[in-house]
């Protein structure tokens, strides 16, 4: 009856609707070509699936937003789903960007490197690759074949003799003039042709050059071409399934079983298989295959450019609408195809087999994980089920480069997309004070939670905190939680026991005596895994911060010194340290450095002593 009341106020415009429960939490976000017709369908007493029936029964109010076109409604719907995470919507939970190979074409001697994130101008990008590992393997082989540099511009500009990469035949050493700009440009062009799928022609050209060198008795040069041909043959053979009839496509296959879904995505570029990745979207309490696949595709390409073709295992709902939206995003036609025969069908069949096997493994692992979570709740006498465990740790060296780290685990194992790092910022925290650092991390974490989700309508609130430390850390956490008024999130300190030996861990809770678990208890091993993962993440974060500090150039902090002047200074003096020691008149002699800037640079370093 409540939904019928809304129908009276709607017209036939396209738009997005939200269904809310009695507490105002969003149950479902949907799109419609005609809002009045779509909402009317929910007002009928019969003809609904069990999932839709439960959703209608829980609906207390609705919200509406009209759009100009149905395509706009589709894009807005997916944005709201990712933001609000409604219970009854299909949700892609892991939406990280993919790595690419980047060639910096604007440089006189372009660099080839791994790249992730937005794609600024001034470079060519090839990808996506399924993982950083697949990019690294491809880059390793490309260096053997095309001898392109992978060093940064700073290192390139400061070299005075060839590096080890040149000695082991992985680089042509353009930094010290071992190759001309024109010849290096040919290598860059060949590498880009290879990444565009023209490897056969490159192989023929290399073979011809090898024969010419051999005929001219330049046997060392001929051996170099021979090694490059072997590396090229190896990379062609190691790509896996290399379809001849599919130059560019993503192969997307869905397998549904037991209310859970797995979607495998294979990336085909330049007639080569550049890897695959499995996704396990939330199925919206039992959505059908066509709805799951439609929502997955719309959310998956929200921050990615779709290829020319998507080869699908199932038909999707609203295929024309989805195809139009993807085409608008890509700026060219994008086709959605469910192949029935031939090589394309074989690619989809292979992807579906991988999806089925991945889901089987995940369901088996989830059952074991659920048993461990239940055992953990029993061991610590916790009443509520554990869907989200947050584990905290700190890392520093005598207080330097201090960081805090948070990892998250739940029914699906480690949730790496939810990991967080905290650079210790407070000036009140004494360097090396572990208790003070833990206070700062927890304070920042829960202040943000209280600001963003005070009513706890999302799943980002933890059910348990594990703290790496003993009574002191637990006392510090208790103080912070009391200050914030958060008294219903349990927390436990995990401390190494006697002789810091694994298996003798002691557990601390506020106002309780420390206790231990049996050495062979599976729950103890589970806690050790959680603690070790937090320790690994904290140390890795600390090392990255320390490495950046060590490699930082002092010129980065000088006001008025941008990329061009920094390059000129380093080229003139050889290093940042030499710039810091330079006399004022020498600084003025650098091209592009005015008298005023030279004075600024001189004062910057001399003010620092």
DSSP string, 527-582: HHHHHHHHHHHHHHHHHHHHHHHHH--GGGGSTT--HHHHHHHHHHHSSHHHHHH-
**Is 388 a residue whose pLDDT tops 70?**
yes
Q: pLDDT digit string (tens) for 221-243?
A: 788 778 777 766 655 544 445 67
Q: pLDDT digit string (tens) for 174-215?
A: 999 999 999 899 889 888 887 776 666 676 777 888 888 888
Q: What is the pLDDT of residue 446?
A: 92
**Is 436 a residue whose pLDDT tops 90?**
no
Instruction: Please give the Cα distance from 91 to 554 (Å, whole number).
Output: 45
pLDDT mean over 504-512 = 87
The order of strands in the sheet holding 61-66 is 26-32, 15-20, 61-66
Does the domain at 389-549 match CATH 3.40.50.300? Answer given as no
Q: What is the pLDDT of residue 501?
A: 58
How many CB atoms within 10 Å of residue 526?
20
**Is 268 a residue whose pLDDT tops 60?**
yes
Instruction: Please give the Cα distance from 70 to 57 (Å, whole number).
Output: 27
Residue-range domain boundaries for the chain: 3-89, 100-238, 248-360, 389-549, 563-607
403 CB burial (10 A radius; 0-12, 13-18, 19+): buried
Instruction: Please give the Cα distance from 147 to 231 (Å, whole number).
Output: 12
| Summary mean pLDDT of the chain | 85
In terms of pLDDT, which residue wins out, 588 or 232?
A: 588
Q: pLDDT digit string (tens) for 542-567?
A: 888 777 766 666 777 788 888 788 88
Closest CA to 389 of 374, 400, 404, 402: 374
Instruction: Please give the Cα distance from 531 to 549 (Å, whole number).
Output: 27
Q: What are the beta bridge partners of residue 300?
A: none
In terms of pLDDT, which residue wins out, 158 or 20?
A: 20
**Cβ atoms 292, 256 nearer than 8 A:** yes
CATH architecture, domain 248-360? 2-Layer Sandwich (3.30)
pLDDT mean over 418-437 = 81
Q: pLDDT digit string (tens) for 332-383?
A: 999 999 999 989 999 999 999 999 998 988 888 888 888 999 999 999 999 8
Q: What is the pLDDT of residue 589?
A: 86
Contacts of 144 (CB under 8 A, 6+ apart): 169, 170, 227, 228, 231
Q: What is the pLDDT of residue 238?
A: 43
Lowest mean pLDDT among 143-147, 258-262, 496-500, 581-585: 496-500
Instruction: Please give the Cα distance from 476 to 494 (Å, whole number).
Output: 14
* Tokens 């680089």, residue located: 171
Q: What is the pLDDT of residue 211?
A: 85
**Is 63 a residue whose pLDDT tops 50?**
yes
Q: What is the pLDDT of residue 494?
A: 92
Q: What is the pLDDT of residue 502?
A: 61
Strands 464-468 and 491-495: parallel
Q: pLDDT digit string (tens) for 277-306?
A: 899 998 888 888 999 999 999 999 988 889
Angle at 158 between CA 153 and CA 163, to 5 degrees: 90
**Cβ atoms 570, 579 nearer than 8 A:** yes
Give the Å distances, CA to CA, from 100 to 250, 263, 275, 368: 15, 22, 12, 36
Beta strands (DSSP E) in 3-94 are 15-20, 26-32, 61-66, 90-91
Instruction: Please give the Cα distance from 581 to 590 (Å, whole number).
Output: 14
Q: What is the pLDDT of residue 419?
A: 93
What is the CATH topology of the domain spanning 3-89? GIY-YIG endonuclease (3.40.1440)
pLDDT mean over 246-254 = 91
Instruction: Please give the Cα distance from 568 to 587 (Å, whole number).
Output: 11
- Indicate if 248-360 has the same CATH topology as 3-89: no
In terms of pLDDT, which residue wins out, 462 or 496?
A: 462
Size of the chain in residues: 609
């Amino acid at each position: 009856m409540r939904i019928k009341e809304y129908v009276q106020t709607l017209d036939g415009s396209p738009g997005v609707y939200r269904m809310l429960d009695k507490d105002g939490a969003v149950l479902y976000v949907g799109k419609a070509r005609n809002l009045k017709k779509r909402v009317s369908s929910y007002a009928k007493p019969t003809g609904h699936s069990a999932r839709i029936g439960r959703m209608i029964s829980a609906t207390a109010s609705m919200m509406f937003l009209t759009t100009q076109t149905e395509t706009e409604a589709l894009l807005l719907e997916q944005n709201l789903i990712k933001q609000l995470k409604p219970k009854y919507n299909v949700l892609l939970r892991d939406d990280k960007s993919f790595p690419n190979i980047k060639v910096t074409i604007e440089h006189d001697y372009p660099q080839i490197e791994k790249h992730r994130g937005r794609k600024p101008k001034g470079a060519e990008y090839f990808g996506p690759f399924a993982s950083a590992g697949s990019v690294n393997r491809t880059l390793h082989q490309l260096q053997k074949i095309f001898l392109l540099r992978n060093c940064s511009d700073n290192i390139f500009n400061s070299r005075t003799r060839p590096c080890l990469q040149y000695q082991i035949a992985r680089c042509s050493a353009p930094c010290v003039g071992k190759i001309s700009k024109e010849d290096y440009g040919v290598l860059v062009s060949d590498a880009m042709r290879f990444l565009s799928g023209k490897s056969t022609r490159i192989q023929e050209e290399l073979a011809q050059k090898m024969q010419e060198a051999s005929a001219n008795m330049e046997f060392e040069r001929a051996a170099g071409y021979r090694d490059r041909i072997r590396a090229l043959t190896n990379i062609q053979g190691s790509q896996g399934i290399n379809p001849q009839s599919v130059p560019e496509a993503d192969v997307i296959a869905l397998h549904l079983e037991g209310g859970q879904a797995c979607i495998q995505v294979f990336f085909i570029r330049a007639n080569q298989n550049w890897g695959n990745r499995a996704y396990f979207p939330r199925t919206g309490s039992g959505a059908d295959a066509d709805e799951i696949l439609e929502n997955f595709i719309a959310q998956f390409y929200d921050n990615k450019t779709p290829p020319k073709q998507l080869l699908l295992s199932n038909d999707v709902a609203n295929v024309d609408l989805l195809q139009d939206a993807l085409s608008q995003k890509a700026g060219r036609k994008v086709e959605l195809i469910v192949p029935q025969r031939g090589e394309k069908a074989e690619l989809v069949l292979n992807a579906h087999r991988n999806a089925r096997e991945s889901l089987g493994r995940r369901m088996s692992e989830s059952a074991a994980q659920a048993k461990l979570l239940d055992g953990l709740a029993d061991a610590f006498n916790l009443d509520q089920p554990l869907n989200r465990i947050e584990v905290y740790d700190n890392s520093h060296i005598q207080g330097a480069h201090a960081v805090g780290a948070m990892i998250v685990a739940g029914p699906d194992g480690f949730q790496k997309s939810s990991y967080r790092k905290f650079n210790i910022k407070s000036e009140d925290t004494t360097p090396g004070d572990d208790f003070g650092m833990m206070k700062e991390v927890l304070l920042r974490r829960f202040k943000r939670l209280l600001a963003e989700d005070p009513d706890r309508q999302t799943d980002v609130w933890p059910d348990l905190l594990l703290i790496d430390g003993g009574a002191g850390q637990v006392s510090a956490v208790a103080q912070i939680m009391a200050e914030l008024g958060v008294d219903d999130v349990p927390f436990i300190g995990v401390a190494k026991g006697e002789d810091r030996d694994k298996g003798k861990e002691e557990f601390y809770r506020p106002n309780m005596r420390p206790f231990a678990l049996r050495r062979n208890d599976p729950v103890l091993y589970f806690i050790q895994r959680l603690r070790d993962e937090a320790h690994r993440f904290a140390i890795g974060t600390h090392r990255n911060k320390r490495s950046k500090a060590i490699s930082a150039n002092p010129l980065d902090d000088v006001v008025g010194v941008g990329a061009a002047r920094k390059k000129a200074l380093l080229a003139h003096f050889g290093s940042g340290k030499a710039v810091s020691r330079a006399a004022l008149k020498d600084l003025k002699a650098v091209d592009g450095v005015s008298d005023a800037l030279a004075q600024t640079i001189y004062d910057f370093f001399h003010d620092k002593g």
